[in-house]
Structure 1
Amino acid sequence: MKKIAIIILFLGICIISNAQIELKTPPPSPEAEWKQKLGFTDISLKYEKPLMRGRKIFGELVPFNQIWRTGAGESTRIRFSEDIFFGGQSVKKGVYSLFTIPNSNEWTVILNTDTTGHGAFSYDDKKDLFRIRVKPETTARTYESFSISIEDILPDYSANLYLNWENTQIKVPVKSNADAVVMNDINQKINIEKVEDAKFFNNAAQYYFANQKDLKQALIWSRRSEEMANDNFNYANLTIKILEEQKDYIAATKSAQKAIELGNKKNLKGAVANLQKKVEEWQKITGITAPASNTMLADNSENHNNHSHGGHEMSSMKENQSIFKPVLDAYYTIKNALVASDADASAKAAGVLVSAVKAIDMNKMEMKQHTEFMKVNSKIISDAQKIADAKDLKKQREVFQSLSESLYTLAKGAKISSEPIYQQYCPMKKAGWLSNESDIKNPYYGSSMLTCGSVKETIK
């Protein structure tokens, strides 16, 4: 027994002597994860942050002109809870891996659909969603650790995605589609559901005012909310703010005097005092130094509006029409491609039309143009996308009929061109189209029935 005990002790000593003693240390590239809301979209990102540790980074540790995992460890993953614009490109909601190709003068930023890979070892460019190119900037500050962040959030729900390391910084613009969602909701409730609700009109007016959209339309909705709830001081106050922003101080004074009466009834001493101070300022600007009657204010306001806005509307008409030129040009290109029976050219032009409609700055529209545009913009984009995705002329021509109807509605209601637009009609197809020339060139039949049709209307 004593001999066995000695053997067991000897084996135990051997095992202990051969065992590895581990020292637990922090990871060399700490994990990082964040989430940022932009508009209605949650942007979240997970990555690992490598450190400089005295090394030269770009051009050495991270070689130029080679794919980089944009971090350390697993591939960097970015998630969008809703559709969004990334670097000017439309991105569907989902999870993507973020890769880059650094260079001294230009970086390539890549969103890739494969999120299962480790670093860049399994990177497959066939799974790229798209690539964009950005210019790197040199920073005065040295970033010891690599970082990715969302900064510069603006009221239009746009921001910049920053990548910083060493003395290099790149930024990628990102923008939520929140504005389009809100605008479509406004259009749906006002033009389709015909909602009659004071709070909704006030909310719509507030949105337009806060985002510096069509202030004429904002004023209409604000006054409508006042009419429906004439004892609501906040609704009246919004009207005053819009008029002040328009520099229509005579009308603002008139509205303020009514609001002051309402505020006194509700014992809103602070708000009333602020309005009284405003009225005094506006009276100095307009030269009306004593309280004026409602009739005089109304007359002066009308004359003031006629004087200050009439000439402006005439002078800005061409500018307002010019924002629709890329849309009309793309539509005419589709029409001409169908006349030539060129499906590829038609699809390409339809893609251009989708981009042109999405790129329109609605802030530059007149009120009537905005209203008409909101009625059809989604349908135009949908039909144009169907033509872009279609592979054959038959399908393209079927959708072109619907697209033409929407363009006609827009052209007729919004006066989108200073040049004549000819509505033409094919009795054989029982379908119409628009043209910038009066000569008939039939997009539904092409060369087989090129001149079949007639001009039904000229929109000027």
Structure 2
Amino acid sequence: MKKIIYFALAFAVCIPMLAQIQSPQPSPAAKIMQRVGLTDVTVEYSRPSMRGRTIFGDLVPFDKIWRTGANARTTITFNTDIMVGDRSLKAGSYAIFTKPSASSWDVYFYTETGGGGTPQEWDESKVAAMVSAEVMTMEMPVETFTITIDDLHNSGATLGMLWENTYVGVPFTVPSKEMTMKSIESVMAGPSGNDYFAAASYYFQEGEDLEQAKKWVDKAVSMNSNAFWMMRLQSLIYAKMGDKKGAIEAAKKSLAVAKAANNADYVKLNEDSLKEWGAM
């Protein structure tokens, strides 16, 4: 009985030790998600506040690399290639570092996103792009460091950074025109061979209208002369429709192209079918 009591008391003592106190963070995390044209842009950062302090030229020294926020590195992610200044940035994630001065900031897009604060050793080879942006003085101070994506238009936006009486904006452009033109051309050109093949495959597998499946697979093969997998489906559809001659002809074409491509799987599949249909 005493052992049970001692165990219960020990367990009760451990509970407070396991609990974690939750309290507001001095620099809370923030996340911005914005579509710019056809590009998705995401910014993740932490937001320190002034709290009566002088920021630029004091808390954030001039002419030194700053993490551009607090805690972990501020990151920006693009799901397409973009342009910032005259530099192209590939789709992906970048840490944003800045070097503030009284009249302008140098803004760096750094390929190494992990870690907290600035790198112990700055590596210029990891700077994917750097642009200089003019400092604009604001009449009303901003208490908490803020990043914005504003001035939205079809082909770009401005990455803004605001704190104290300072605003810095970095314009960037996105490939909306190129993506839209490509989409228009694709749609106006009609379905691709892969589209016809996918539709025919579904109809064949689900036992739907084989006449329609045949039309689609014939169209797919006509648009892809070296697609042995499409010819293979064509042979199976013909066979299921009772067109043994057409099935053998399609299987032989698929076999020849599969051999040329060194695809052993499709070589065997076609040879097995040709044997089954008495053509080998």
Shorter-chain TM-score: which interval?
Answer: 0.5 to 0.7
* 1-structure distance, mates of 2:125, 2:89: 17
Deviation at 1:183, TM superposition (A): 2.7
Aligned position for 2:225: none
- Tell me, yes or no, if the aligned pair for 2:147 and 2:161 is still in contact at 8 Å: yes
Match of 2:63 in 1: 65
Mapping for residues 222-237 of structure 1, pairs under 5 Å: none
Percent same amino acid among aligned pairs? 37
Counterpart code for 1:164: L
Q: Is the 8 A contact 1:85 1:175 kept in 2?
A: yes
CA drift of 1:104 comes to: 0.4
CA distance in 1, matches of 2:185, 2:130: 34
Q: Within 5 A, what are the aligned runs for 1:22-101?
A: 24-101=22-99
Q: 1:157 aligns with which of 140, 144, 155?
A: 155
Contact 2:72 2:115 in 1 (8 A): yes
In structure 2, give the amino acid aligned to 1:71: G
Structure 1 residue 88: Cα displacement:
4.0
Cα deviation, residue 124, structure 1: 2.7
Q: Structure 1 length as normaliser, TM-score?
A: 0.36
Match of 2:168 in 1: 170
**Higher strand content, 1 or 2:** 2
Root mean square deviation, CA, Å: 3.2
Q: Which amino acid aligns with 2:62?
A: F
User: Quick one: distance in 2 between partners of 1:189 and 1:27?
Assistant: 50
Q: How does 1:236-251 map to 2 (within 5 A)?
A: none
Conserved 8 A contact 1:148-1:161: yes
Distance 2:116 2:184 in 1: 45
Separation in 1 of the partners of 2:21 and 2:51? 21
| Cα distance between partner residues in 2 of 1:125 and 1:171 | 23
Give, as a single letter, the amino acid of the residue that structure 2 aligns with 1:135: E
Does residue 94 of structure 2 align to residue 124 of structure 1? no
Structure 1 residue 125: deviation in Å?
2.8
Say if 1:111 and 1:130, in contact at 8 Å, map to a contact too.
yes
AA matched with 2:101: N
Q: Is the 8 A contact 1:88 1:174 kept in 2?
A: no
How far does residue 187 in structure 1 lie from its aligned partner after superposition?
5.5
**Residue 22 of structure 1, CA deviation:** 7.9
Provide structure 2 residue ranges, at least 5 long, that are not aligned to the other structure.
1-5, 191-280
2: CA distance, partners of 1:87 / 1:145: 27
- Number of matched residues? 184
Q: Distance in 2 between matches of 1:133 and 1:85?
A: 14
Listed as ranges, the matches of 1:378-389 within 5 Å are none
Q: Return 5+ residue gaps in structure 1 as ranges.
A: 1-7, 196-460
Given residue 123 of structure 2, which amino acid in structure 1 is its aligned partner?
D
Could you list the per-position Cα deviations for residues 49-82 of structure 1 after superposition, in whole angstroms to 9, with x for gaps in the alignment?
0100100000000000000000000111110011
How many Å apart are 1:157 and its aligned residue? 2.7
**Aligned equivalent of 1:183:** 181
Change (3 A) 1:140 1:187: same
- Give secondary structure in 2 for the equivalent of 1:181: helix
TM-score (norm 2): 0.58
In 2: Cα distance, 1:149 partner to 1:107 partner: 16
Which residue of 2 is the match for residue 148 of structure 1? 147
User: What SS does the aligned partner of 2:50 have?
Assistant: coil
Query: 1:186 deviation in Å?
Result: 4.3
Shift of 1:140: 1.4
Q: Look up the SS of the partner of 2:152 in the other structure.
A: coil
Q: 1:183 to 1:23 in 2, by over 3 A?
A: closer
> Using the alignment, how far apart are the partners of 2:160 and 2:114 within structure 1?
24
Give, in whole Å, the separation in 2 of the partners of 1:164 and 1:58: 11
Do the aligned residues in 2 keep the contact of 1:67 with 1:120 (CA within 8 Å)?
A: yes
Offset at residue 86 of structure 1 (A): 2.1
Which residue matches 1:134? 133
SS of residue matched to 1:130 = strand
**Whole-angstrom CA distance in 2 between matches of 1:188 and 1:29:** 47
More helix by percentage: 1
**Structure 2 CA distance for partners of 1:22 and 1:40, relative to 1, 3 Å:** closer
| Contact 1:95 1:113 (8 Å CA) reproduced | yes
1:248 corresponds in structure 2 to none
